[in-house]
């Protein structure tokens, strides 16, 4: 258990070091992967929303990777901060969002129904989800 905690902390430190952003001062929320359509998203809304209206869907298609998703506002609330495993899928019903992944090539990222270009394997990935007007 201690080894897993050390691995997660090290992964977060790596992402922060690469991104040049300071360590988080507030609490972090571990990833909550799901693939069941009956479950709710981190905002508590149902997943029955049409794909084109969902601001962000992240699926891990490659190796497990550390992913941080935060609200892109003055408070910068962290919605997900942890290692996602192959096959994990997260959906977010709010925007704007900032997304950083240690290995962007491991993810399939869909923003408002549009699949984003694949990042190179092993390289950090960043995405920004704008609020729709």
Q: What is the pLDDT of residues 22-52, one digit of tens each?
A: 444 333 444 444 443 333 345 444 445 555 7
132: confidence class by pLDDT, cuts 50, 70, 90: confident
What's the token pair of residue 98? Answer: 């900032």
Peptide bond into 128 cis (omega under 30): no
What's the pTM? 0.62
């Amino acid at each position: 258990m201690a080894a897993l905690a050390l691995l997660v902390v090290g992964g977060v430190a790596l992402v922060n070091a690469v991104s040049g952003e300071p360590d988080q001062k507030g609490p972090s929320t571990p990833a909550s992967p799901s693939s069941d359509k009956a479950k709710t998203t981190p905002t508590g809304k149902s997943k029955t929303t049409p794909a084109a209206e969902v601001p962000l869907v992240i699926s891990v298609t490659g190796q497990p990777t550390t992913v941080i998703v935060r609200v892109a506002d003055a408070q910068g609330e962290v919605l997900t901060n942890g290692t996602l495993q192959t096959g994990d899928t997260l959906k977010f019903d709010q925007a704007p969002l900032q997304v950083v992944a240690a290995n962007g090539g491991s993810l399939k990222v869909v923003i408002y129904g549009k699949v984003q270009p694949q990042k190179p394997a092993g390289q950090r990935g960043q995405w920004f989800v704008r609020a729709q007007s």
